A and B are shown apart, each in its own frame.
Chain A
Amino acid sequence: MSQSKVSIVDIQNRIVREFSLLEDWTERYKYIIKFGSKLPHLDSSKKVENNIVKGCQSQVWLHAEFSDGKIIFEADSDAAITKGLVALMVHLYSHQTPSAILSTEPTFITEIGMHEHLSPTRANGLASMVKQMKIYALAFSS
């Protein structure tokens, strides 16, 4: 392994810890939006039809590459809150092995009080995004 990578569980724990310091929904959403604004720029060549995550009210692009046994995710969204949630998911699953991604659920979403964004009626794409990441993990593990 070229670099030691923090486990998904550790990352989730850290996110949950940081959110526990935030007082109300305003602070939580502001944190999420700020997290999204730090997401590395997604090249326009990767904002193609094939990378669009379906089932989102806002536009979400997810690009995946497999390198050295790990999946590198890149993503973007045109909505600020969605982009923040997407950035958290990239932070969680990028540079992880397919088996680690498949065996670890993103439980932090519920723990930081964002479970409403997983509801299918929200149609904001977080659930579709999680599913798409798992599909990539499955594809790269076979």
Chain B
Amino acid sequence: MQDWNNIRNQFPVLKTQVNGYALSYLDNGASSQMPESVITRLASYHQHEHANIHRGVHYLSQTATTTYEETRRLVADFLNAESLEQIIFTTGTTDSINLVAESWGSSFLSDGDEIILSEMEHHANIVPWQMIAQKTGANIKVIPLLDNGELDLDIYANLLNERTKMVAVVHVSNTLGTVNPVSEIIAMAKNVGARVLIDGAQATPHMAVNLQELGADFYTFSAHKMCGPTGFGVLYGNKSLLEAMPPYRGGGDMIDKVSFSGTTYNDLPHKFEAGTPPIASGVVFGEALRYLNKIGMDEIAQRESYLLKYAMKGFKSLQRLQLFGTSNNKTAVISFLLDDIHPTDAGTILDKYGVAVRTGHHCTQPIMERFGIPGTIRASLSFYNNEADIDALINGIKETQSFFN
């Protein structure tokens, strides 16, 4: 049994006062917060351990390299990946998807090939594919959304054919919280020989992910949504595919031998990691993973499912409220509108009560188009939130409604 109150107390920023109210931080979908141990790890790295990695024979460089590479092992374990070479460090999910779209796409896509995306994708899993489609002559097909915020798998089945080369879908929708049946989606893609990329940015912070079981060719996520630092992320890839793909960026660390008559590239994973990486961020992310492992991802999933239930009970007492994303299989994300109150206006008033939510299109404009709305108000919860945060949200919504009444 976890002491959730004690866990919450390990996050210093949650003690902030906003406009005279205790902060209720419900914007975890945009970024999570860091516990004390992770914050302290950043300072101690800079105080005692910093040097450039993978190149010095001196003590500090060797230590920093070992510590940084330890994070790769932690990530591989976290995902149950087959090998360390399959874990590429990037600057985040956006960077990872751009890497795959450009490097894999430029080698494996040709005129008339098809890429399947879904209507609930984050812009980061749309635009890189549009860019490579334009270059290669490939076409993009879209799996539509059902009214409850789930994907229409019947239409997906009809979209798949021998021209389908890539299916790139989100594991958990950042806007709706829907947990997609990715195992099924991957299996269906494999039937026609298509590759699959799963955007796991909103999944890895909330549930255990087993990549050997899933069988995705690519899986990606960001550290800053998992109690880690910004500017650091992961791309997991199928080893033979990663080996066949050309480097994405050139520079130090990614080379074997450089000469003006020709350059040979380093082995995986370094082939895709040009230049000095954000070493401190990598080290600190390792600490964040240790922190999450200590609590346990299944415990986290249960806690957040409890918080979602608690919140939905409170939402039942509210009127003139429309929910978006009502799948039974969803994370603790509540996207809603308050009749014709503009989400930006609602967010401004909620902030006055210390409630931090995200308002707008959440970088998923196709979802907004699908529902014919300008945006939503999104409360996205994390395990360190508590009942008081949710009560503050519900009270804030009531205050917002009476303000605009």
A residues contacting B by CB (< 8 A) are: 25-26, 29-30, 33, 57-59, 78-82, 123-124
Q: A25-B352, A29-B349, A58-B342 are in contact. Are A78 and B374 (CB under 8 A)?
A: yes
Tell whether, in the assembled complex, residue A57 and residue B403 are in contact, meaning their CB atoms are under 8 Å apart.
no
Q: Which parts of B6-34 form the interface with A (CB within 8 Å)?
A: 19
Q: Which of A25, A29, A124 meets B344, CB within 8 Å?
A: A124
Q: Which of B19, B349, B374 meets A59, CB within 8 Å?
A: B374
User: Besides the contacts A29-B348, A57-B343, A82-B344, what 4 more A-B pairs have beta carbons closer than 8 Å?
Assistant: A58-B374, A59-B374, A80-B345, A124-B348
Question: Considering the complex of A and B, which 5 residue pairs feature the smallest CB-CB distances, nearest first?
Answer: A79-B342, A58-B344, A79-B344, A57-B360, A57-B344
User: Which among B343, B348, B359 has the greatest number of chain A C-beta atoms within 10 A?
Assistant: B348
Set of chain A residues within 8 Å of B360, measured between Cβ atoms: 57, 123
CA–CA, A33 and B404, complex, Å = 9
Q: Shortest distance in angstroms between B337's beta carbon and chain A's nearest beta carbon?
A: 13
Chain B, interface residues (CB within 8 Å), range:
10 to 19
Set of chain B residues within 8 Å of A58, measured between Cβ atoms: 342, 344-345, 374
User: Which among B344, B349, B374, B404 has the greatest number of chain A C-beta atoms within 10 A?
Assistant: B344
Tell whether, in the assembled complex, residue B348 and residue A81 are in contact, meaning their CB atoms are under 8 Å apart.
yes
Q: Which partner residue on chain B sits nearest A84 by CB separation?
A: B345
Q: Which partner residue on chain A sits nearest B404 by CB separation?
A: A80
Q: Shortest distance in angstroms between B388's beta carbon and chain A's nearest beta carbon?
A: 22
User: Which among A25, A26, A33, A79 has the greatest number of chain B C-beta atoms within 10 A?
Assistant: A79
CA–CA, A26 and B399, complex, Å = 11
Q: Which partner residue on chain A sits nearest B349 by CB separation?
A: A29
CA–CA, A33 and B349, complex, Å = 12
B residues contacting A by CB (< 8 A) are: 19, 341-345, 348-349, 352, 359-360, 374-375, 403-404
Q: Which of B19, B341, B375 meets A57, CB within 8 Å?
A: B375
Set of chain B residues within 8 Å of A80, measured between Cβ atoms: 341-342, 345, 404
CA–CA, A43 and B324, complex, Å = 32
Q: Shortest distance in angstroms between B367's beta carbon and chain A's nearest beta carbon?
A: 16
Q: Which partner residue on chain A sits nearest B348 by CB separation?
A: A81
Set of chain A residues within 8 Å of B403, measured between Cβ atoms: 26, 29-30
CA–CA, A85 and B367, complex, Å = 29
CA–CA, A72 and B347, complex, Å = 32
Tell whether, in the assembled complex, residue A81 and residue B345 are in contact, meaning their CB atoms are under 8 Å apart.
yes
Q: Which partner residue on chain A sits nearest B359 by CB separation?
A: A57
Q: Shortest distance in angstroms between A27's beta carbon and chain B's nearest beta carbon?
A: 11
CA–CA, A52 and B345, complex, Å = 19
CA–CA, A80 and B359, complex, Å = 14
Q: Shortest distance in angstroms between B265's beta carbon and chain A's nearest beta carbon?
A: 40
24 contacts between A and B (CB under 8 A): A25-B19, A25-B352, A26-B403, A29-B403, A33-B404, A57-B343, A57-B359, A57-B360, A57-B375, A58-B345, A59-B374, A78-B374, A79-B342, A79-B344, A79-B345, A80-B341, A80-B342, A80-B345, A80-B404, A81-B344, A82-B342, A82-B344, A124-B344, A124-B348
CA–CA, A29 and B347, complex, Å = 13
Tell whether, in the assembled complex, residue B352 and residue A78 are in contact, meaning their CB atoms are under 8 Å apart.
no
